[in-house]
Amino acid sequence: MKKIDLHEATESLAEYVKHVEDEPVIIVHKGVALAALIPLSDVDYETVELSTNPKFIAMLERSRARHKAEGGISSEEVRRRFGANGESEITA
């Protein structure tokens, strides 16, 4: 992982992106990571968009808190309730 201090990050963004395939590039200021350039070879755009969306993150946090407080049901129970046997059923 390559760390670059914010004040020393004077190259163009394109130059830093060229190095991402070799290793992540982390921009730091006073020892605190501010930003990261990482390769997205195995990640689609929608995953990145959702993982950084404050509304989606808040929804996940509410869901996790509710599950912790109230409990939940297993995937097996969901399948039982909906009569799913694990096979895809296509209806026209």
Three-state secondary structure readout of the chain: CEEEEHHHCCCCHHHHHHHCCCCCEEEEECCEEEEEECCCCCCCHHHHHHHCCHHHHHHHHHHHHHHHHHCCCCHHHHHHHHCCCCCCCCCC
* pLDDT score at 22: 81
Q: Specify the CATH number of the domain 1-39.
A: 3.40.1620
Give the DSSP H/E element, type plus range, for residue 23.
Answer: none
Q: Summarize pLDDT for 10-65 with one digit per residue, the tens.
A: 999 898 888 888 888 999 999 999 999 988 878 888 988 998 899 999 999 999 99
pTM of the predicted protein model:
0.51
Q: Which of 18-22, 66-70, 77-81 has the lowest mean pLDDT?
A: 18-22
Please check the confidence at residue 89 and state whether its pLDDT lies above 70.
no
> Domain segments of the chain: what residues?
1-39, 41-83
